[in-house]
A and B are shown apart, each in its own frame.
Chain A
């Protein structure tokens, strides 16, 4: 069986660019906006991240959720907005894997937002390498599916 073909068939992501552009009506109140090129680059970046992290996405709402969650951050301005959303996508999918899918999308985004605006003070490196790293360790230590977890001790 062609596994790659099967994975592609499972994916049902339509209108990704227009969905991202629809966010403009909300984020404009924070002085932010996204062009079609920005939306396309985010979609391409997400696809590359998904391939790199070996994940399949069934619905394309993560980019919008990240846009809504971070658009009011005091550490994000229009010049770096697209770049940051792209980086946050990378971090999000990376930590979906690192937390063994034990945490749901909304909770992970909420945690990322809180830490980014709080302890990290807008630093993506600190968010990725320190806050989320220890967060993922804690999740893994408490889950059933990880050999180092308490259940198997």
Chain B
């Protein structure tokens, strides 16, 4: 339970919510349901205190009932915001034939908006969110997880829409012929190609890395320290974002998140001479 409040303050809220849950037609509930309702109260209260728009509430402790009610309102508003964002994404959405991407966004999300229970179980986001984003939402729950996930999907779609669909598919096929069934992040794969093209001084809109480039990549990796290379990568991402996305800072932050993993994978590929597995 929320550490801000004593158990005695939260019990009446859970009791009232339980009455609503059972419509007073059932005099008992299972421990599992009681836990669910307890978490629901906790989730809404935390939503009230954790919301970034709420500068005052983060320092002021208000009555538990009021915090719950206001938190619940915020949950509802966030669902509406997520729905608007989803509507924006869906207009130009392309899953690039990746099954889990299509299933998560096209099949899963509408089901989420249909079945999400903001009142009695706001902590359950229902979906498994199989398509992996660059930043994981595993540590989040409920509408917070879904909103952040959609936010990242939106950034990815903005990023990918800049390129010709055929080129993106070509990159994915080169990555793995059976890419359609894999749980891979499209933006990350395209970004890695872009970074290398940018470092190699080639045109970034083609997305193609040739086998002849492997030797140059090996040289770059072997002749520089990790810090240097990460810095070069960061610089490249900045250039890419500046080139095609009007210095979109959110996109820059999002794309930069996977840089260290990229370096480690690249290092391994160079070491074991298997760059073709990456590009």
Question: Do A and B come from the same complex?
Answer: yes
Residues in chain A within 8 A of chain B (CB atoms): 1-3, 5-7, 9-10, 12, 50, 53-62, 93, 96-97, 101, 104-106
Decide: A56 near B26, CB < 8 A? Known: A6-B1, A10-B11. Answer: no
The verdict on B77 contacting chain A, using a C-beta distance below 8 Å, is: no
| Residue on B nearest A100 in the bound complex, by CB | B30
Residues on the A chain within 8 Å of B31, using CB: 7, 54-56
**CB < 8 Å neighbour of A105 from B7, B27, B30, B34:** B27
**CB < 8 Å neighbour of B27 from A2, A3, A59:** A59
Number of interface residues of B (CB under 8 A): 23
The verdict on B32 contacting chain A, using a C-beta distance below 8 Å, is: yes
Contact across chains for A3 and B28 when beta carbons are under 8 A apart: no
Cβ of B121 to closest chain A Cβ, rounded Å: 11
CA distance A12 to B15 in the complex (A): 10
- A-facing mask of B137-152, CB < 8 A → 1, else 0? 0000000000000000
**CB < 8 Å neighbour of A57 from B15, B28, B35, B38:** B28
Residues on the B chain within 8 Å of A55, using CB: 28-31
The verdict on B33 contacting chain A, using a C-beta distance below 8 Å, is: yes
CA distance A134 to B50 in the complex (A): 47
Cβ of B123 to closest chain A Cβ, rounded Å: 15
Contact across chains for A105 and B32 when beta carbons are under 8 A apart: no
Contact across chains for A57 and B27 when beta carbons are under 8 A apart: yes
Decide: A97 near B30, CB < 8 A? Known: A6-B7, A9-B8, A10-B15. Answer: yes
Contact across chains for A5 and B7 when beta carbons are under 8 A apart: yes
**CB < 8 Å neighbour of B33 from A1, A101, A105:** A101
CA distance A3 to B31 in the complex (A): 10
The verdict on B25 contacting chain A, using a C-beta distance below 8 Å, is: yes
Q: List 23 A-B contacts (CB under 8 A).
A: A1-B7, A6-B14, A7-B34, A9-B7, A10-B11, A10-B14, A10-B15, A54-B32, A55-B31, A56-B31, A57-B28, A60-B27, A62-B28, A93-B28, A96-B26, A97-B30, A101-B29, A101-B30, A101-B33, A104-B23, A104-B25, A105-B25, A106-B25
Contact across chains for A3 and B25 when beta carbons are under 8 A apart: no
CA distance A96 to B25 in the complex (A): 12
Cβ of B28 to closest chain A Cβ, rounded Å: 4
Question: Restricting to B1-43, which residues have a CB under 8 Å from any CB of A?
Answer: 1, 7-8, 10-11, 14-15, 18-19, 22-23, 25-35, 38
**CB < 8 Å neighbour of A3 from B18, B30, B35:** B35
Contact across chains for A56 and B8 when beta carbons are under 8 A apart: no
Contact across chains for B26 and A105 when beta carbons are under 8 A apart: yes
CA distance A105 to B22 in the complex (A): 10
CA distance A7 to B7 in the complex (A): 10
Residues on the B chain within 8 Å of A58, using CB: 15, 18-19, 27-29
| Residue on A nearest B37 in the bound complex, by CB | A10
Cβ of B143 to closest chain A Cβ, rounded Å: 20
| Residue on B nearest A144 in the bound complex, by CB | B115
CA distance A133 to B18 in the complex (A): 27
Contact across chains for B27 and A61 when beta carbons are under 8 A apart: yes
Contact across chains for A6 and B28 when beta carbons are under 8 A apart: no
Contact across chains for A1 and B25 when beta carbons are under 8 A apart: no
Residues on the A chain within 8 Å of B14, using CB: 6, 10
CA distance A96 to B31 in the complex (A): 12
CA distance A10 to B31 in the complex (A): 11
**CB < 8 Å neighbour of B11 from A9, A50, A61, A97:** A9
CA distance A38 to B221 in the complex (A): 83
**CB < 8 Å neighbour of B34 from A1, A56, A61, A97:** A56
Cβ of A94 to closest chain B Cβ, rounded Å: 12
Residues on the A chain within 8 Å of B15, using CB: 10, 12, 58
CA distance A55 to B29 in the complex (A): 5
Residues on the B chain within 8 Å of A97, using CB: 30
Residues on the B chain within 8 Å of A1, using CB: 1, 7
